[in-house]
Amino acid sequence: MKPQPGSHRLVEAAHRWLRPVLSPGALAVDLTAGNGHDTLFLARQVDSGGTVIAFDIQKQALDNSAERLSQAGFPVQRDHAGRCPVTRPGIHLVHDGHQFLPEYLNAPSDAVIANLGYLPGGDKQITTRAETTRRALDSALNALWPQGRLAVVV
């Protein structure tokens, strides 16, 4: 499937919006890992001393993200058995709904991105849902540092 016209520009604008609050050591969240493009962007910004937590309900999305990150030289961690806070730096791929974000955070986040819709190349019947996304976005806003930023691409 081809991306919608202009969608790359929207994602680039979201990345530009987030970039000023991201630096090595930061904590960033990708509410919708998908194929890993936004997760990779966040990983490059926070570097090895930072933390990225990326959620997806589809194992295929996390597999795709892990491959993209590994090809770019970023090791990933997929060791979350049960919902518990992420306490160490690195890239954490979480096979869970983004509405459970608060259960994985142990500190305020610097940036959060959500690229809503469905997994490109995946099952179009599995999409983000309004009720869970609303909970996730409310949680994300409450979890941001005062200078933190949230970007939502629809």
Q: For residue range 95-148, list pLDDT tens digits in order.
A: 999 999 999 999 999 999 999 887 777 777 777 788 999 999 999 999 999 999
**Residue 12 belongs to a domain:** no
The pTM of the full predicted model, rounded to 2 decimals, is: 0.91
The yes-or-no verdict on residue 29 having pLDDT over 60 is yes
Question: Per residue in 41-70, pLDDT tens?
Answer: 999 999 989 999 999 999 999 999 999 999
Which CATH number do you get for residue 117? 3.40.50.150
**Residue 9 belongs to a domain:** no
**Residue 19 belongs to a domain:** no
CA 102 and chain centroid, separation: 14
Pick from 129, 128, 150, 152: nearest CA to 140: 150
- Looking at the structure of the chain, the number of domains it has is 1
User: Domain containing 133: what range?
Assistant: 25-80+87-153
Q: Which residues of 122-149 are buried (b: 16+ CB within 10 A; e: fewer)?
A: beeeeebeeeebebbbebbeebbeeebb
**Residue 132 belongs to a domain:** yes
**Residue 139 belongs to a domain:** yes
- Report the alpha-carbon distance of residue 60 to residue 35 in Å, rounded: 9
**Residue 18 belongs to a domain:** no
